[in-house]
Amino acid sequence: MAAAYIDDEQDAYMFPGRKKYPKKYLKTKESIVRHGMDDPTGTTIVAELEEGDEGWTGQSELMGLCIWYRDQEKDDEKAKGPETKEPLLKRKSPSVPSIIPLPS
């Protein structure tokens, strides 16, 4: 299944050496998908070619896969606002006086 992503635009960006090192790419991609499927906040959706579908050859075939993730750990947990942290750098007042006088 991981091999199906080798020409994917997003994977081309994330794994530029995927065609030069296909074994490493496939191992990494498989690990990412496997961990996503095992994630308790994830829901995996698989699209499969079935009898009656265009292109049916008599054998089911994986056509697509996506993993959707929840933002909360539990379904009943309310969404929290964005986490705010103290800035790493404090804003300093200008050390050079303004050329244009400010109104008083």
Residue 22 forms part of a structural domain? yes
- pLDDT of 26: 93
Residue 79 forms part of a structural domain? no
Residue 89 forms part of a structural domain? no
Residue 97 forms part of a structural domain? no
Average pLDDT of the chain, as a whole number: 78
Residue 84 forms part of a structural domain? no
Q: What is the pLDDT of residues 29-72, one digit of tens each?
A: 999 989 988 998 889 888 888 888 888 899 888 888 888 988 76
Number of structural domains, the chain? Answer: 1
Q: Which residue has the higher pLDDT, 99 or 27?
A: 27
Alpha-carbon distance of 102 to 67, in angstroms, equals 55
In terms of residue numbers, what domain contains 42? 2-69
Query: Taking the model in full, what pTM does it have?
Result: 0.54
Residue 15 forms part of a structural domain? yes
Tokens of 27: 């191992």
Alpha-carbon distance of 15 to 25, in angstroms, equals 7
